[in-house]
Amino acid sequence: MLFNSIDFAIFLPIVFILYWFVTNKNLRLQNLFIVAASYVFYGWWDWRFLSLILFSTAVDYFVGCGLGKEENQRKRKLLLLTSILVNLGFLGFFKYYNFFLDNFIAAFSFFGAEIQANSLNIILPVGISFYTFQTMSYSIDVYKRKLEPTKDFIAFSAFVSFFPQLVAGPIERATHLLPQFYKERTFDYLKAVDGMRQILWGFFKKLVIADNCAKYANLIFNNSADYSGSTLVLGAIFFTFQIYCDFSGYSDIAIGTSRLFGFNLMRNFNYPYFSRDIAEFWRRWHISLSTWFRDYLYIPLGGSQGSTWMKVRNTFIIFIVSGFWHGANWTFIVWGALNALYFLPLLLTNKNRNHLDTVAQGKMLPSIKELSMMVLTFTLTVFAWIFFRANNIEHAIAYISEILSPSLFTLPKFAEIEKALVILLVVAIFVVIEWIGREQQYAIANIGINWKPSFRYALYYAIIITIMCLGGKEQQFIYFQF
């Protein structure tokens, strides 16, 4: 079920009413209702894959119970390995089987050996990359004794399948979200209002910015051979804002929706395009995934400790794995490796943690130095996104080659460019609003909070009218494919 669909517009108020007015007297019943609602939400897309969520939930629940009772270290490792193999096995089969098969065949063909093997017509279950990581991290935390295993299967099932963040995150840790299912929840009006405000901003990002940018990004990328370098730059910029507003918009809707039900989800984006270097960008972009890889892969490998070789190795591993997590295509791997190259100079000069504060904190405008650093970081990010969006490596190279040609210095030209310029103006206004609200959890969290109610609601209605007037054609969230 898509957030930006009529189905969800009907689903959400029904679940909200039943949750607070029918099941609110019994915590266990309330959690069971969350599980049921979440399974309906997910099954609306394809009910057949509900068995995957249920099986993954059951495996990690019983692995957790076993880890809580077992003291023998060898058996504990075996239990953890079971969780990892099941979760990564599902993920590997559905997401990467054909990729590895095709590259295996290509490798043998390169050496003159022909292998006959048929790829499978596999449907990628929506959200599998998210909920498998979420359940797997629970088993790892229990194994490391950072978390007591739960004995409440319903609460654990609700943690795994919680519908606001089930299919595209944030990837929650059991240490943060699971305990919230143990506590009685009472309706908090101010929390709910704040949630509605964040949902509104999320829909603005998705429907007005992302979906409109997608139209022109797709037009330019899909016909890149027909356009000049300047037009291709414009296409890359459109995609840059498409992917940010699409994914962060989903996260805003998910976090805001969870507040309606009395839950707090972790922040997933923190104004990444205002970053002053790539290290800061990755602290602010898809925070739940980057911290997951940091805690469960990068640090166990040794992190930034040890020799220079180990630092370089670990950096490339985490970025390449992060790229591969996004999809079975060499473009994602190159995108990850490119970001590793961006990151390495900062790591090796111990400047990777120089910018932990908010840029121009407490000020209206950044300094010239801060502005130049943001522009450079943004430019590097846009360049890397070309690989992420391209159909294949050859497409990306051809795209970049045309950008670096003399046609870069011509005026952009493509169908509906006048409408595209209007969207660019809207994007510019959006960036200004994000800049004003960059010290808040989301851009409009405090904008107008002290205004008279009539003015404040005029702002919200203006956003709603803008969504209705400029909202693009309903499109699936971009991260559903990951």
Interval 177-186: pLDDT, tens: 999 999 999 9
Whether residues 471 and 426 fall in one domain: yes
Interval 17-43: pLDDT, tens: 999 999 988 999 999 999 999 999 999
- Residue 167 pLDDT: 85
Whether residues 400 and 455 fall in one domain: yes
Whether residues 119 and 206 fall in one domain: no
Q: Which two tokens stand for residue 62?
A: 């019983």
Distance CA 183, CA 190 (A): 19
Q: Which two tokens stand for residue 463?
A: 């956003």
Task: Establish whether 355 is a catalytic residue.
Answer: no
Q: What is the mean pLDDT of residues 374-395?
A: 96
| Cβ-count burial 206-232 (b if 16+ within 10 Å, e if not) | bbbbbbbbbbbbbbbbeebeebbbbbb
The answer to the question of residue 331 being in a domain is no
Provide the percentage of residues in the chain whose pLDDT is more than 90. 73
From 185, 212, 245, give the residue that closes a domain: 185
The answer to the question of residue 132 being in a domain is yes
The answer to the question of residue 39 being in a domain is yes
The answer to the question of residue 149 being in a domain is yes
Distance CA 286, CA 130 (A): 12
Of 53, 79, 61, 57, nearest to 144 by C-alpha is 79
- Residue 18 pLDDT: 96
Distance CA 380, CA 400 (A): 13
Whether residues 27 and 130 fall in one domain: yes
From 185, 213, 233, give the residue that closes a domain: 185
- From residue 320, alpha-carbon distances to 286, 326, 369 in Å are 15, 10, 31
Higher pLDDT, 25 or 239: 239
Maximum alpha-carbon separation in the chain = 75
Interval 396-424: pLDDT, tens: 999 999 999 999 999 999 888 999 999 99
Of 133, 206, 202, 122, nearest to 166 by C-alpha is 133
Question: Considering 286, 326, 355, 395, which one is annotated as catalytic?
Answer: 326
- Residue 5 pLDDT: 84
Q: Which of 9-13, 112-116, 162-166, 389-393 has the lowest mean pLDDT?
A: 112-116
Higher pLDDT, 329 or 217: 217
Q: Which of 88-102, 137-151, 252-266 has the lowest mean pLDDT?
A: 88-102
Kindly tell me the burial class for residue 58, based on how many C-beta atoms sit within 10 Å of its own C-beta (0-12, 13-18, 19 or more).
middle
Residue 216 clears pLDDT 60, i.e. is over it: yes
Neighbours of 347 (CB within 10 A): 18
Interval 54-108: pLDDT, tens: 999 999 999 999 999 988 999 999 999 999 999 999 888 877 766 666 665 666 5
How is 307-373 classified by DSSP, letter by letter? -HHHHHHHHHHHHHHHHHHH-SSHHHHHHHHHHHHHHHHHHHTT-TTS--S-TTTT-SS--HHHHHH
Q: What is the mean pLDDT of residues 261-290?
A: 96
- From residue 224, alpha-carbon distances to 116, 217, 402, 410, 481 in Å are 34, 10, 9, 15, 23
Q: Which two tokens stand for residue 319?
A: 């970025």
Q: What is the mean pLDDT of residues 305-331?
A: 90
Of 195, 128, 202, nearest to 166 by C-alpha is 128
Considering the chain, what is the average pLDDT of its residues? 90
The answer to the question of residue 290 being in a domain is no
Q: Under 8 Å CB-to-CB from 60, ≥6 apart: which residues?
A: 83, 87, 135, 136, 138, 139, 156, 160
Distance CA 133, CA 86 (A): 11
How is 129-176 classified by DSSP, letter by letter? HHHHHHHHHHHHHHHTTSSPPP--HHHHHHHHH-GGGTTT-----HHH
The answer to the question of residue 347 being in a domain is no
Determine the residue type at 87.
N
From 185, 205, 235, give the residue that closes a domain: 185
Whether residues 114 and 169 fall in one domain: yes
Whether residues 173 and 203 fall in one domain: no
How is 68-112 classified by DSSP, letter by letter? HH---HHHHHHHHHHHHHHHHHHHIIIIIHHHHHHHHHHHHHHTT
Determine the residue type at 411.
L
Q: In total, how many domains does the chain have?
A: 2
Distance CA 429, CA 417 (A): 18
Whether residues 128 and 259 fall in one domain: no
Distance CA 116, CA 126 (A): 30
Higher pLDDT, 481 or 196: 196
Are 355 and 275 in contact by the 8 Å Cβ rule? The answer is yes
- Residue 128 pLDDT: 86
Provide the percentage of residues in the chain whose pLDDT is more than 70. 93
The answer to the question of residue 316 being in a domain is no
Neighbours of 5 (CB within 10 A): 13
Residue 256 clears pLDDT 70, i.e. is over it: yes
Q: Under 8 Å CB-to-CB from 251, ≥6 apart: which residues?
A: 168, 169, 170, 202, 268, 269
Distance CA 320, CA 130 (A): 18
Q: Which two tokens stand for residue 269?
A: 């984006």
Whether residues 33 and 172 fall in one domain: yes
- Residue 129 pLDDT: 86
Quick one: residue 72, left, alpha or beta (phi over 0 = left, psi -120 to 50 = alpha)? beta
Residue 208 clears pLDDT 90, i.e. is over it: yes
Q: Under 8 Å CB-to-CB from 89, ≥6 apart: which residues?
A: none
Distance CA 292, CA 280 (A): 16
Q: What is the mean pLDDT of residues 213-224?
A: 94
Q: Which residue has the tokens 């205004």?
A: 451
Q: What is the mean pLDDT of residues 262-289?
A: 96
Interval 147-166: pLDDT, tens: 999 999 999 999 999 999 98
- Residue 126 pLDDT: 80
The parent domain of residue 75 ranges over 6-185
Residue 374 clears pLDDT 80, i.e. is over it: yes
Whether residues 152 and 199 fall in one domain: no
Whether residues 386 and 409 fall in one domain: yes
Distance CA 91, CA 97 (A): 9
Helix axes 153-161, 27-46, angle to 10 degrees: 40
Whether residues 145 and 221 fall in one domain: no
Q: Secondary structure of the chain: what % helix, strand, coil (to 5)?
A: 70, 0, 30
Neighbours of 404 (CB within 10 A): 10
Higher pLDDT, 231 or 4: 231
Whether residues 108 and 64 fall in one domain: yes
- Residue 335 pLDDT: 96
